[in-house]
């Protein structure tokens, strides 16, 4: 019996989505966005020198086929990424009409989203009055703050002091189908914030809003505010079985690393660990040593997206990629004979692009443990079918194995 490790590098897109012209950051279509290639190009011209220097250095991912996959997806220049691929490699496109976390992960797990998500308008206010009243009532407050599209760090800086004074939760959204609630862990209370999100989630889910996200923070108006790692996503439950269910129904253990448990509402997941990306890498390394034969480990590393993509920080994104490459290189050496590791992404978030939202891109598909070769351009759902084939479990949905 064999094991499988599916690792999502959140937002590490490689350009070339054929429908990018129908997705926007503000008034600008995502046509031409390319998270990885644009970072590599910035590094090569010396425009990403904060905390690092020189061309983008990703030897382990590049040997698996990262540079080759990027050029296949978009025909873009990838300076510093020119290795001859030693793994199976290709690129994948998404069919769900969303460039967000649930859309990408559900489809990677074999289930294209069967509906259109609800998005809030980029107006002030952004939310209907009945929803505002329901949230305020659930919070025990006389109103909410925010009520607009915003960056999470910016809106906390803007309203943090007033929130601490009034007890009103800070509510905001983005170009994704999300309703986010930020509150101070100490003055408002983490448990109270989580209870608030849980209470209003059914109402938002009925509207086909994909996630209600608790965004706790700490700090003071004088010293500044910082978001903590106690974020929790309350996502719509997938309406049909996904890869995690297929594995669990076949009697296999399923381990979640990162926000996987939140994304799938713990459907088909036996246990989950959370934390910073550095902590999650430690957990992934541990599971390489301890995961049971026949098991599935599904991991998400979110900080490329949350700390650097949305903030349009090219240097920070490059540093995160180089850190990830060093760490995953050690983990790849620890795989057992018969193990499969698939490294991919869920969407793009080009830090060189306008706006602050995700970008519609294809994603890399890098496979360790099944020899070398090109798999070409595939679909997100094919990744789930391929993992299922490796584990010798029945698959459902539209995906076809490329193994």
Which amino acids are annotated as binding site, given as ranges? 10, 305, 310, 346-347, 358
CA angle, residues 202, 208, 214, in degrees to nearest 5: 55
In the chain, the N- to C-terminal Cα span, in Å, equals 16
- Residue ranges for the binding site for Mn(2+)? 10, 305, 310, 346-347, 358
Contact 342, 371 (CB under 8 A): no
Tally the residues of the chain. Answer: 403
CA atoms within 13 A on the CB side of 153: 11
Q: Which two tokens stand for residue 298?
A: 């599904």
Alpha-carbon distance 230 to 215, whole Å? 8
CA atoms within 13 A on the CB side of 316: 15
Q: Which two tokens stand for residue 246?
A: 């297929």
Helix (H, G, I), strand (E, B) or coil at 244: helix
382-397: buried (b, 16+ CB within 10 Å) or exposed (e) per residue?
bbbbbbbbbbebebbb
Contact 86, 64 (CB under 8 A): yes
Alpha-carbon distance 288 to 330, whole Å? 11
């Amino acid at each position: 019996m064999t094991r499988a490790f599916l690792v999502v590098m959140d937002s590490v897109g490689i350009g070339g989505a054929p429908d990018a012209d129908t997705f926007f950051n503000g008034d600008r279509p995502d046509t031409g966005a390319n998270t990885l290639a644009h970072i590599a190009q910035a590094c090569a011209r010396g425009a990403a020198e904060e905390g690092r220097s020189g061309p983008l250095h990703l030897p382990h991912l590049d040997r698996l086929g990262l540079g080759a996959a990027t050029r296949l997806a978009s025909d873009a220049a990838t300076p510093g990424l020119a290795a001859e691929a030693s793994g199976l490699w290709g690129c994948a496109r998404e069919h769900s009409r969303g460039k967000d976390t649930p859309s990408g992960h559900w489809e990677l797990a074999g289930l294209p989203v069967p509906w259109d998500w609800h998005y809030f308008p980029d107006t002030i206010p952004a939310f209907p009055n009945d929803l505002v009243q329901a949230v305020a009532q659930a919070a025990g407050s006389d109103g909410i703050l925010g009520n607009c599209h915003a960056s999470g760090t910016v809106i906390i800086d803007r309203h943090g002091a007033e929130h601490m004074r009034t007890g009103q939760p800070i509510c905001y959204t983005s170009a994704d189908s999300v309703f986010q609630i930020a509150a101070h862990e100490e003055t408002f209370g983490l448990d109270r914030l989580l209870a608030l999100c849980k209470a209003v989630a059914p109402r938002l889910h009925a509207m086909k809003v994909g996630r209600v996200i608790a965004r706790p923070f700490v700090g003071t108006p004088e010293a500044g505010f910082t978001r903590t790692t106690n974020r929790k996503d309350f996502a719509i439950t997938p309406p049909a079985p996904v890869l995690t269910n297929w594995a669990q129904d076949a009697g296999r253990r399923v381990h979640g690393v990162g926000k996987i448990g939140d994304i799938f509402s713990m459907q088909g997941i036996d246990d989950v660990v959370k934390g910073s990306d550095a902590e999650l890498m430690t957990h992934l390394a541990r599971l390489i040593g301890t995961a049971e034969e026949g098991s599935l480990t599904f991991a998400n590393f979110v900080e490329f997206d949350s700390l650097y993509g949305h903030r349009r920080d090219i240097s920070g994104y490059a540093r995160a990629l180089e850190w990830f490459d060093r760490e995953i290189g050690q983990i790849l050496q620890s795989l057992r004979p018969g193990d499969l590791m698939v490294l991919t992404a869920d969407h793009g978030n080009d830090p060189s692009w306008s706006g602050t939202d995700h970008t519609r891109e294809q994603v890399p598909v890098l496979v360790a443990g099944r020899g070398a070769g090109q798999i070409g351009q595939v679909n997100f759902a094919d990744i789930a079918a391929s993992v299922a084939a490796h584990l010798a479990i029945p698959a459902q949905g539209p995906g076809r194995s490329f193994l």
